[in-house]
Structure 1
């Protein structure tokens, strides 16, 4: 057994849990030669698990660096950070349709290509390269929630359960045959960000188990039922404003589903206020009306009410609703959604 500790890059905020990461190469395990394609945080644990399990990750493909923050400083994608830490080659072509990129991948002779939140569809020319296929780690129980935002959409829709699917990739959007699945409950107060963090770990564990089963010929491929498919479109800021005529449950799901981005909001005293967390109450009143109930910040909905437990006033910091009321007393004409 060979144990190798990756070097530390000494850079400011690398990746949570990456610094000090080590991997073990077990000579008794049949390894595969893998190209890994992924870009954001969701993909990092899957990449780590592949390396840790002893598979030969010969290259990592991710999206190009992007400017971030007020200074527009170029920032590496999280998967690139992880790959550099493990001294693995990183490729950041803007397109996989370029013949020279496809030839580069052929020359690497991968047994399999593993994809997790890469950000682009793979063209047929690449899907056909690895003899053991291209497999994808997807954050839903397919065929439900195909697309870019499966985790957030599951929370927005008030789903009680979700999970991770490992599938063979096809030319369509998340249409390939299912290899394995793992289900988990969604907590009643869980945000999409919290669920995201859980599913990326579940996906990483399932990926390594699935690859081993594929090698041993234990898994069959199951075609998806297209009639049961739903689409998980990318989130937009246009979905953020709250309509207080909806039920408390619907708005609660909106708040959870849009946390951490783009965040649900409403106008209060003609100022924008973000609502990061809330709790459903069995109270009834005029939709949009705000009241102090037992010292808590309460807003009535089309049915039921919400206690605002974490908010962020315009140009302010996050705080709990009770603290906000200390400096902003409520009167009989206090309403949400009343921008003039």
Structure 2
């Protein structure tokens, strides 16, 4: 099949490599422009661009894919399909109508659940016990197109978003190649989404990252693992930000106010929540490296009988 591939982060790389491995004719790889990174603001290639160059594929990096001249470039390639995996820009109706067989998206949720920008994070933050990948035909809506195939995975109590990301990026690659096979042989079945069952996974911001000790301990634990390793949940100690990367929780009641530090030892930093307690296991103090609480306490102290904000 003649394919145009659109993607940007490392989540999209396994799908690109699988398409190449399966012998599809990848006419063009479209990815976001190089962006300044680090203290020196040196331009950094996207993960997809690096992979495409390793495979010897042609790369196109428009600042805005919707521009008319970019649609003309894509039209001239006469593709069978456009495959989109976390590209980062919305496609115009004109582009959606270009490929002979349509535009196929790999979305990291079991649609219509968690449409939007951050389904991986929100599946864990919301306390879901299962999620997955859906391939779908793209339309002008936000993740509203007809579904093709789904693959479900389980989320256990301690899985963080980094681990889920690595699992689903491989699952998505396999599901996309299976989807293309079914489209080619005419056995693909399109299923409309039930909008009544939809939910939204908005972009993350500082407000989302802030730990609110008044919340239930289980919800705080889900927030921490849903934002680990990036961008990380945090709280403030002496007006300085402390990031948290792993935790546990207990539903046992406490008489202390939310945010009160009960103890800090090799088992973790125990903090009262609105219901139950949260046990912080891995933290990053300001200006320090990320480390387990056990390692941190070997050379440092953490205040107890104080109330965190």
Q: What band does the TM-score fall into relative to the shorter chain?
A: over 0.9
Structure 1's unaligned 5+ residue stretches are 1-31
Other-structure match for 2:261: 290
1:267 paired to 2:236? yes
User: In the alignment, is the contact (CA less than 8 A) between 1:176 and 1:223 conserved in 2?
Assistant: yes
Other-structure match for 1:302: 274
What is the total number of aligned residue pairs between the two structures? Answer: 306
Query: Per the alignment, do residues 331 and 92 of structure 1 end up closer, same or farther by CA in structure 2, a change over 3 Å counting?
Result: closer
CA-CA distance at 1:323 after TM superposition: 3.1
Name which of 233, 241, 247 aligns with 2:210: 241
1:39 paired to 2:8? yes
Other-structure match for 1:80: 49
User: In the alignment, is the contact (CA less than 8 A) between 1:290 and 1:330 conserved in 2?
Assistant: no
Q: Please give the alpha-carbon distance, in whole angstroms, between the structure 2 residues aligned to 1:332 and 1:113.
A: 56
CA-CA distance at 1:39 after TM superposition: 0.6
Other-structure match for 1:319: 291
Q: Please give the alpha-carbon distance, in whole angstroms, between the structure 1 residues aligned to 2:284 and 2:245.
A: 8
Task: Give SS of 2:259's match.
Answer: coil
TM (norm. structure 2) is 0.95
Of 101-110 and 268-277, more deviation after overlay is shown by 268-277
Of 226-235 and 171-180, more deviation after overlay is shown by 226-235
TM (norm. structure 1) is 0.87
Task: Give SS of 1:144's match.
Answer: coil
Give matches, 1:224-239, under 5 Å.
224-239=193-208
1:145 paired to 2:114? yes
Q: Please give the alpha-carbon distance, in whole angstroms, between the structure 2 residues aligned to 1:249 and 1:166.
A: 31
Other-structure match for 2:143: 174
User: In the alignment, is the contact (CA less than 8 A) between 2:124 and 2:226 conserved in 1?
Assistant: yes
Q: Please give the alpha-carbon distance, in whole angstroms, between the structure 2 residues aligned to 1:321 and 1:203.
A: 35
Query: Per the alignment, do residues 71 and 128 of structure 1 end up closer, same or farther by CA in structure 2, a change over 3 Å counting?
Result: same
